């Protein structure tokens, strides 16, 4: 068997494709891969494997999850994706060569892998599809290496149900490849003798009947899912057209290679080089257009904020926000949380652009509840609300898999609440994973050991923050919730800063003034910048000194600045560009210009 990378052009483009895959998924799209890992819970138990193998496509799913569990490690996702797509290229090329007895056109060998490259950009496509597709290609290649027709018949009849059960939808690739190959063997003289003609409809009938029989005898699933399984697309009611293209791509490329007019020249010395250059350009163009059309870099950006929050890299969040100034709600929820965690919320929040709904994420029953929605709750001490959001995420994933990140959060909240029996229930599956085993087992060990919990750096601290007074969740009255939280723990400085930020963003200066005196109990070294700006603004609006501001006078610099701002604001015509440039980081600008 000739190596696929014999020619120089192949080698160069193969290396370029691998490098592009690695760079794209390792650098530009890394957070999507990390998210994939957070959305699954791969367990190493025999029962988990048995459960997966009990449904069609389950082995592909199991293999995919096994690989994805490493995606939390730096660059692991990119390396694994690169290797898997490389295998797709190699096997596609080998299959085309085995059937057509010619050097495969580079375009045909690379396009299925390029297709997967693009699909993996979308979070609704499961990574499990790639190993499923590869298994199908391996089976096709194996079939084509059998020289005796009788062996091929036996292998074909046996492999159709096996590949179906292991891979789900990708079995269609296998069926089509072997049928088309046998047609070519019949019409063109090849080394391999064709199987009898009657075998070909038999292959097709078996291919059509196997899922129906499985649905009748073994599985209970929709007709669509019986054919395709849940290993490819995370929404079970669709089998999107791009996946159909991927499934039929290899058999179609075999046909094109065999019957298109340029194919006979494919083995001449000049033609391949020229065709490969054209192919390389076409694939690159396909990828670039595909990335531009399909790549969701806004989601990637949000996921980066989310992952930084998850890893508690607060300074990196702020640095990123300073570079890019996010404008979407979820990212800004992360930024405000990072500012609060680093004690900078009241000082710097208006330098990073604000809107009145940027403190907490929206809670609605639509789509998957974002992981990030629960993070401010957790870090503030709304442990039950963080638990609620984690449950909502757990029960809103499109493919109904257990997200490891949700289970970790749920277990943590029950541990903090001292509900150890429940915590253990969620820790148990985590203790059967490769990467969370150690953490989960330590948490199981800690449960019911109140003495250790009370002195634990994480759990004891989180307990100290948590609400002791009961109240109900009301997304429209988070200030009330924050006040209750402060009542439970008057030293919860972060809750206080969120409360004051809430009033400033809500333009509720009466409430701001009312709770300003609490500052004295929380050991501030002077008033934070945004509070000074609010106090200065209030002072300008009233003829007399307010008693509530006694002891909370803004510094001279702020007074000078607001005077200058007032001059500029009242100037005719009003120079809003200059106001934004000079005062865009102030509360006054937010008050007057942000809607």
Partner 1 sequence: MFFFFLLPFSACNEEYRSVITINNYPSIFPDYKEVTIPYNIAPLNFRVKEEAERLIVKIKGKGPEHEFRFRGNKARFHQKDWEGIMKTSAGNDLEITVSVGHQDSLKVYKSFTIHVSEDKIDDYMVYRLIMPGFQNWNQMGIYLRELSSFSEETVINSRLLPGTCMNCHTFLHNDPQNMVLHLRESYGGTILYHNNVLEKLNTKAGKMFANAAFPAWHPSAKYIAFSVNRVNQVFHASGSFRAAAIDMKSDIFIYDIERNEMLTSPALSAGDNFETFPCFSADGTKLFYCSADSVQMPQKFQQARYSLCSVSFDPETGTIGSSPDTVLSAAVTGKSMSLPRVSPNGRFLMFVMADHGCFPSYNPEADLWMLDLENGNYEPLTILNSDNVESWHSWSSDGHWVVFSSRRENGLHSNPFIAYIDSNGKPHKPFLLPQEDPSFYDSFLFSYNIPELIKAPVKVRPYTIVKTARSSPAVQVSSGSGH
- Phi first, then psi: give them for residue 436, nearest 5 degrees: -110, 0
Closest CA to 529 of 485, 458, 590: 590
- Cα dihedral: 158, 160, 165, 167 (round 10): 130
Spatial distance between the Cα atoms of 419 and 387, rounded to a whole number of angstroms: 12
Q: Which is nearer to partner 1, 170 or 467 (CB)?
A: 467
Contact 217, 161 (CB under 8 A): no
End-to-end Cα distance, the chain: 68
Least distance CB 397 / partner 1 (angstroms): 6
Q: Cβ distance 112 to 252 under 8 Å?
A: no
Tokens for 44, please give them.
Answer: 């190493």
| Smallest distance, partner 1 to C-beta of residue 230, A | 9
Query: Is the CB of 219 or the CB of 284 nearer to partner 1?
Result: 219
Residue 99 CB, nearest distance to partner 1 (Å)? 38
What are the C-alpha distances in Å from 500 to residues 99, 154, 487? Answer: 71, 75, 15
- Nearest CA to 132 out of 83, 172, 99 is that of 172
| Residue nearer to partner 1 on the CB measure, 176 or 482 | 482
* 9 versus 429: smaller Cβ distance to partner 1: 429
- 336 close to 359: Cβ distance less than 8 angstroms: yes
Question: Nearest approach, Cβ of 250 to partner 1 (angstroms)?
Answer: 30
Helix (H) or strand (E) holding 461: helix 459-465
Q: Which residue is listed with tokens 């069926």?
A: 175
CA distance 118 to 231: 17
Shortest CB 438 distance to partner 1, Å: 18
Q: State which residue, 487 or 566, has the beta carbon closest to partner 1.
A: 487
CB of 178 or CB of 423, closer to partner 1 = 423
**Minimum gap (Å) between residue 392 Cβ and partner 1:** 5
As given in the structure block, the two tokens for residue 451 are: 């003495």
State which residue, 236 or 351, has the beta carbon closest to partner 1.
236
Dist CA 185 CA 192 (whole Å): 7
Closer residue to partner 1 in complex, CB, 351/384: 384
Closest CA to 537 of 479, 593, 589: 589
Q: Given the complex with partner 1, which of 260 and 400 has the nearer CB atom?
A: 400
Smallest distance from partner 1 to CB 422, Å: 5
Nearer residue to partner 1 within complex by CB, 257 or 413: 413
Least gap, CB of 49 to partner 1 (angstroms): 15
Closest approach, Cβ 517 to partner 1, in A, equals 25
Residue 182 Cα distances to 153, 158, 169, 187, angstroms? 10, 16, 21, 9
Cβ proximity to partner 1: between 112 and 381 the closer is 381
> Measured from the CB of residue 550, what is the shortest distance to partner 1 in angstroms?
34
Number of neighbouring beta carbons within 10 Å of residue 569: 17
Spatial contact of 168 and 105, defined as CB atoms under 8 Å apart: no
Least separation in angstroms between residue 427's CB and partner 1 is 9
415-437 CB burial, b ≥16 within 10 A, e <16? bbbeebebbbebbebbbbbeebe
Which residues are near partner 1 by CB under 8 A?
A: 47, 220-222, 225, 236-237, 365, 369, 382-385, 387-388, 391-392, 394-398, 400, 402, 417, 419, 421-422, 424-426, 428-429, 466-473, 481, 484, 488
Minimum distance of partner 1 from residue 217's CB (angstroms): 13
Q: Which residue has the tokens 């060998």?
A: 109
Residue nearer to partner 1 on the CB measure, 377 or 512: 377
Between 7 and 236, CB nearer to partner 1: 236
358: tokens are 């940027």
Smallest gap, in angstroms, from Cβ of residue 415 to partner 1?
A: 13
Q: Is 252 exposed, middle or buried (0-12, 13-18, 19+ CB in 10 A)?
A: middle
Residue 471 CB, shortest distance to partner 1, in Å, is 5
Indicate the residue among 326 and 429 with the shorter CB distance to partner 1: 429
All residues at 6 or more sequence positions from 140 whose CB lies less than 8 Å from its CB, including other chains = 91, 95, 173, 174, 177, 178, 250
> What is the per-residue DSSP string for 83-98?
HHHHHHHHHHHHHHHH
Beta strands in 122-281 (DSSP E): none
């Amino acid at each position: 068997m000739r190596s696929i990378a014999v020619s120089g052009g192949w080698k160069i483009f193969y290396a370029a494709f691998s490098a592009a895959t690695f760079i794209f998924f390792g650098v530009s799209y890394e957070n999507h891969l990390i998210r994939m890992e957070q959305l699954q819970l791969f367990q190493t138990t025999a029962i988990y494997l048995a459960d997966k193998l009990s449904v069609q496509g389950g082995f592909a799913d199991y293999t995919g999850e096994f690989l994805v569990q490493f995606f939390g490690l730096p660059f692991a996702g990119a390396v694994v994706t690169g290797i898997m797509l490389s295998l797709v290229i190699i096997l596609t090329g080998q299959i085309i060569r085995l059937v057509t007895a010619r050097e495969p056109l580079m375009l045909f060998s690379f396009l299925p892998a390029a297709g997967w490259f693009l699909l993996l950009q979308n979070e609704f496509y499961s990574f499990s599809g790639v190993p499923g597709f590869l298994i199908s290609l391996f089976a096709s290649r194996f079939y084509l290496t059998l020289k005796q027709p009788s062996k091929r018949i036996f292998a074909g009849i046996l492999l159709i149900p096996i590949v179906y059960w292991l891979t789900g939808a990708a079995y269609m690739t296998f069926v089509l490849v072997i049928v088309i190959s046998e047609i070519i063997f019949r019409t063109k003289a090849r080394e391999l003798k064709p199987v009898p003609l009657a075998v070909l409809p038999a292959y097709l009938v078996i291919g059509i009947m196997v899922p129906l029989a499985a649905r009748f005898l073994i599985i209970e699933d929709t007709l669509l899912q019986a054919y395709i399984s849940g290993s490819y697309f995370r929404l079970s009611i669709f089998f999107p057209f791009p996946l159909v293209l991927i499934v039929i791509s290899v058999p179609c490329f075999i046909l094109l290679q065999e019957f298109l007019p340029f194919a006979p020249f494919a083995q001449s010395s000049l033609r391949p080089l020229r065709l490969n250059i054209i192919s390389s350009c076409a694939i690159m163009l396909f990828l670039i257009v595909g990335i531009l059309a399909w790549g969701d870099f806004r989601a990637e950006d949000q996921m980066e904020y989310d992952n930084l929050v998850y890893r508690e890299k607060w300074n990196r969040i702020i640095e990123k926000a300073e570079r890019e100034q996010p404008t979407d709600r979820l990212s800004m929820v992360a930024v405000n949380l990072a500012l609060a965690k680093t004690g900078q919320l009241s000082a710097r929040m208006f330098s990073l652009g604000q809107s009145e709904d940027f403190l907490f994420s929206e809670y609605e029953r639509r789509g998957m509840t974002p992981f990030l929605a629960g993070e401010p709750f957790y870090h503030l001490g709304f442990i039950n609300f963080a638990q609620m959001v984690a449950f909502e995420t757990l029960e809103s994933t499109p493919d109904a898999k257990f997200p490891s990140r949700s289970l970790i959060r749920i277990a943590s909240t029950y541990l903090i609440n001292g509900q150890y029996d429940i915590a253990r229930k969620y820790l148990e599956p985590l203790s059967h994973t490769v990467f969370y085993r150690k953490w989960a087992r330590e948490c199981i060990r800690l449960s019911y050991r109140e003495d250790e919990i009370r002195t634990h750096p994480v759990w004891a601290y989180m307990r100290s923050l948590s609400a002791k007074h009961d109240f109900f969740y009301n997304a429209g009255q988070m200030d009330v919730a924050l006040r209750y939280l402060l009542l439970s723990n008057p030293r919860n400085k972060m809750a206080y800063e969120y409360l004051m930020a809430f009033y400033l963003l809500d333009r509720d200066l009466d409430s701001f003034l009312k709770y300003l005196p609490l500052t004295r109990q929380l050991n501030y070294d002077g008033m934070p910048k945004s509070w000074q700006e609010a106090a200065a603004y209030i002072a300008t609006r009233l003829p007399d000194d307010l008693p509530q501001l006694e002891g909370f006078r803004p510094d001279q610099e702020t007074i000078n600045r607001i005077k200058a701002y007032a001059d500029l604001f009242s100037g005719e015509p009003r120079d809003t560009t200059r106001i934004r440039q000079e005062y865009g980081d102030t509360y006054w600008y937010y008050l007057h210009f942000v809607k």
